[in-house]
Homo-oligomer: A and B are copies of this chain.
Amino acid sequence: MTTQQLIDQIKIKKSFLAVGLDVDLNKIPPHLLELEDPIFEFNKAIIDATHDLAVAYKPNTAFYEAYGIKGWMSLQKTINYINSTYPDIFTIADAKRGDIGNTSSMYAKAFFEDLNFDSVTVAPYMGKDSVEPFLAFENKHTIMLALTSNEGAFDFQTLNVGGTRGEVERSGAKELYKHILETSKTWKNSENLMYVVGATKAEYFTEIRKIVPDSFLLVPGVGAQGGSLSEVCKYGMNANVGLLINSSRAIIYASNGTDFVEKARAEALNIQQEMEQIMSLTFNV
């Protein structure tokens, strides 16, 4: 999918919601456990109930790998279902991969070719040659961790960094995640980059937008983790919206009864309507 197609979807649906499909068998409605593939059936029901309110779905691979081969089959069925039934939807494999060059190429092949996701999340620690193999795929998007939504984000991501190997640049020191954002813009095919920025850190968006004004930001942390949608939009929106706000648990576990579909839709609708209002106020549409 091209970035323009994603932007078009956002304008049509008046939504920039990504629904996180982080399916835990201990949390889904118990009546689904009798089915042959409870994870897929749960995802299918959630997707069918929310596809007109969301522009993206984001399965986190951990929740599938935890169930072994059966889990991977559920993941494959889920992405195939989205691609065949709702081809306008932007799909995100939340996998946080990254390795040396030839290995990252295999991960890119796994997510962009074998599973046919539109995008995958990657970790930056191993640097340029661990990310560029993902960027080589046309009309595929690589979403790199910048500033994450968890407490541990402050362990390393916000450290001030200076020069390399032996000398600190006393002037111009900056936080690691900013240095990573700036550096990534010099990589080959960097136009295929998006970034993860946690909603729990709304005050950081102003600074981040100075570095990557045009890039899409995938924003976890609204809802269960406590981030505010309006605050994120205030500081993080650009002229094309430029945000994908993820909500996982608040939507998919809105109920674990037989009404889980209706409750999930109601929760997604709440968020979509707040988004529509924000877009209306921001863009006068």
Sort chain A's interface into a size bin.
35 or more
Once the chains bind, are A127 and B156 in contact (CB under 8 Å)? yes
Structural contact, A128 and B115, CB atoms closer than 8 A: no
> Does B124 contact A125, Cβ atoms closer than 8 Å?
yes
A72 CA to B109 CA, complexed, in Å = 14
Query: Does the CB pair B66–A69 fall under 8 Å?
Result: no
Among the stretches A135-143, A168-176, A261-269, the one at the interface with B is A168-176
Q: How many copies of this protein are present in the complex?
A: 2
In the assembled complex, how far is the CB of residue A21 from the closest CB belonging to chain B, in whole angstroms? Answer: 12
Is A240 located at the chain interface by the 8 A CB criterion? no
Chain A window 108-126, contacts with chain B (Cβ cutoff 8 Å), 1 for yes, 0 for no: 0111001100000001111
Whether a CB of chain B sits under 8 angstroms from the CB of A45 is no
Q: Please name 19 further chain A to chain B contacts, defined as beta carbons within 8 Å, in addition to the given A67-B114, A96-B97, A162-B168, sorted by A numbering.
A: A63-B106, A66-B114, A68-B76, A68-B110, A68-B115, A96-B123, A98-B123, A100-B220, A123-B123, A123-B125, A124-B125, A126-B153, A129-B152, A156-B161, A156-B183, A160-B167, A162-B162, A165-B175, A168-B170
- B168 and A173: CB pair below 8 A? yes
A24 to B103, CA, bound (A): 10
A124 to B110, CA, bound (A): 23
Docked CA distance A97–B97 (Å): 7
User: What residues of chain A have their CB less than 8 Å away from a CB belonging to chain B?
Assistant: 22, 24, 60, 62-63, 65-69, 71-73, 76, 94, 96-101, 103-104, 106-107, 109-111, 114-115, 123-131, 145, 148-168, 170, 173, 175-176, 179-180, 183, 220
The reply to whether A160 and B166 form a contact with Cβ atoms under 8 Å apart is yes
Contact across chains for A103 and B22 when beta carbons are under 8 A apart: yes
Is B173's CB under 8 angstroms from A159's CB?
no
- A-B contact list, 6 entries, CB within 8 Å: A68-B76, A96-B126, A100-B148, A126-B157, A129-B152, A176-B176
B127 touching A150, Cβ below 8 Å = yes
Q: How far is the CA of A230 from the CA of B51 in the complex (A)?
A: 58
Q: Across the interface, do A126 and B148 meet the contact criterion of CB distance under 8 Å?
A: yes
A272 to B124, CA, bound (A): 34
Distance to closest chain B CB from A145 (angstroms): 6
Please, how many angstroms separate the alpha-carbon atoms of A104 and B96 in the complex? 11
- Judge whether B150 and A129 touch: CB under 8 Å: yes
CB distance from A74 to the nearest CB of B (A): 10
